[in-house]
Copies of this chain bind each other. A is one copy, B any other.
């Protein structure tokens, strides 16, 4: 570990500090099981249901850690960010709980349910095109105008330390697992998972799951350096963004492997989750189950913690009911 990214300085104490700070504002989400899905996969699956967080996603953990860690002076100027959805509404939720302004840049293609939720929590939206370049240009304008503290959706050690609290709870609730798997987009959840699991359960394998149609993390992992797509397209709208230096630190050092799934496999896994777990999981959250079904050699016979990252879905547009 010769890199000098801020993430390299994170320790398990940062996770514990984050957990103590955010506990009043987050839920200790339950771990659900399904005998049917266990039979189907040949594994013992423990679904950590972050879709039951108030804002419907794990991202309230990182957002709350960033917002409630601000000094009074910094907090007074509010926070701002760009996000494909769940970080936007999680930061709005956190800012609303602290009573400070929140400005978010979102692609106009983001699901209506996520835009509605941002506004409900008191956030202000500025829309951009669904590309990394447009998002970054629009955000620069918003940040300059508002002067708010930038809380990046994942490339921020405060956010990573917050996300790390999820797998700490999961390890406690399950009594330990052989492997843990989470979706990977920008890498915030995986990085937090690496921080916790590599310190508290170093024998546990850490897998990431990614859509084939947005497989920049997979290709980066295999190449040994960050490769970014500019405008990937996948139903898993939470996973469109590229790795950055702080999440690459964890992905390159601690991840065991990355698996990918096709769009059809993601939709099929999503429907299985709704049917047999009876939880509303968004497409991004179904990618791990899709890859578990495809890779029995990695998961068969294992105890596997599966992070269900979010549940913000447009109920009027379910993918298995689209022509």
Contact = CB atoms under 8 A, between A and B. Distances in A.
A103 interface: no
Contact of A279 (B33, B271, B278, B320): B278
Contact of A280 (B27, B33, B56, B274): B274
Nearest to A55: B35
A180 B259 CA distance: 45
A161 B318 CA distance: 39
The quantity of this chain's copies bound in the complex is: 2
A137 interface: no
A34 B51 contact: no
Contacts of A101: none
A275 B114 CA distance: 11
A120 interface: yes
A311 interface: yes
Given A27-B33, A30-B30, A120-B36, A51 B278 contact: yes
A158 to B, nearest CB: 24
Interface string A9-39: 0000000000000000001001011111000
Contacts of A56: 278
A315 B36 contact: no
A113 interface: yes
Interface string A289-323: 00000000000000000000001000110101100
Interface in A28-80: 30, 32-36, 51-52, 54, 56
B52 A32 contact: yes
A102 B113 CA distance: 44
A126 to B, nearest CB: 24
Contacts of A275: 113, 280, 315
Question: Which of A30, A33, A320 has the most chain B CB atoms closer than 10 A to its own CB?
Answer: A30
A67 to B, nearest CB: 17
A271 to B, nearest CB: 6
A52 B278 contact: yes
Contact of A311 (B120, B278, B315): B278
A314 to B, nearest CB: 9
Interface in A267-290: 271, 274-275, 277-281
Interface string A111-154: 00100000010000000000000000000000000000000000
23 contacts: A27-B33, A30-B32, A32-B52, A34-B54, A36-B120, A52-B278, A56-B278, A113-B275, A271-B315, A274-B280, A274-B315, A275-B315, A278-B279, A278-B280, A278-B281, A278-B311, A279-B279, A279-B280, A280-B280, A315-B320, A316-B320, A318-B318, A321-B321
Given A36-B54, A113-B275, A318-B318, 18 more contacts: A27-B33, A30-B32, A33-B54, A35-B54, A36-B120, A51-B278, A52-B277, A52-B278, A56-B278, A271-B315, A274-B280, A274-B315, A275-B315, A279-B279, A279-B280, A315-B318, A316-B320, A318-B321
